[in-house]
Amino acid sequence: MNDGGQRRFGPLGTTLVIIPTYNEAENIGPIVARVRAAVPEAHILIADDNSPDGTGKLADELADGDEQIKVLHRKGKEGLGAAYLAGFRWGLDHGYGVLVEMDADGSHQPEELPRLLTALKNADLVLGSRWVPGGRVVNWPKHREILSRGGSTYSRLMLDLPLRDITGGYRAFRRETLEGLGMDEVASQGYCFQVDLAWRALKAGFHVVEVPITFVERAVGDSKMSRDIVAEALWRVTTWGMGTRAAKVGKALGLG
């Protein structure tokens, strides 16, 4: 984490939990119910990418029965990063003070959200971390753990970041943090999207903390991870890292 110093943090405001969906018909009802039970005062935005399995319709039915549930219908599948960015903009436009990233498949346990929100009282961004003391994964195949740990380690070394779980997607942002990240410049998707936002937050001087979470592999549906997502992450992090190193060398030589 970076040093928050003696800075005083303002009140959090209303929380919006953003849940992107694509073919999550079997998961959306249970995860929404768990969020409502865990943090009753929070609102939920389901950002559906025109799921062919009817997830969007189910989301509308949930919203019809609960004024704290909102639905953002998107034209099609454009990637996790694009869905979250659309959700962030919607939340900022509607005045929410805290915006939370949460998967629809139950891997991010809503019951742990109060821990993230408590930590956010003295931070700008809170990351739910699998790789700090107390964090863990459940029912993950070994290759997925190696990929995740390796991705975070590579990103940390290439970008010189003090974070242990840079690729994780369970996060809570203050609205001021998102407003200061230059979201219009974010083009990365999926796995790399999370690295991008954490890196931007630290570069902008925001106070970022990690709290331990238990990540549970989805029981229903298919993972959205793909070779293309991993390849994009590797390419972008390498490019960013080399650019950062070149800039540091140039500055040391008095060229920048």
Average pLDDT, the chain: 88
Q: Is 6 helix (H, G, I), strand (E, B) or coil?
A: coil
**Residue 219 CB coordination number (10 Å):** 12
- For the chain, the domains span 15-251
Enter the pTM of the model.
0.86
For the chain, where are the alpha helices, taking DSSP H only? 25-38, 55-64, 80-93, 113-120, 142-159, 175-179, 190-203, 227-252
pLDDT of res. 52: 97
What are 30-53's pLDDT values in tens digits? 999 999 999 999 999 999 999 999
Chain-centre distance for alpha carbon 24: 18
Q: In whole angstroms, give the CA distance from residue 42 to residue 15.
A: 5
**Residue 10 CB coordination number (10 Å):** 9
Query: Mean pLDDT over residues 79-85, rounded?
Result: 92
DSSP 8-state code for residue 8: P
**Total length of the chain:** 256
pLDDT of res. 1: 46
Confidence of residue 4 (pLDDT cuts 50, 70, 90): low
Question: Higher confidence at residue 156 or residue 36?
Answer: 36
160: left (phi over 0), alpha (psi -120 to 50) or beta: left
What are 186-221's pLDDT values in tens digits? 877 766 889 999 999 999 999 999 999 999 987 665
Task: State which CATH number among 3.90.550.10, 3.40.720.10, 3.40.50.970, 3.40.50.11540 fits the domain covering 15-251.
Answer: 3.90.550.10
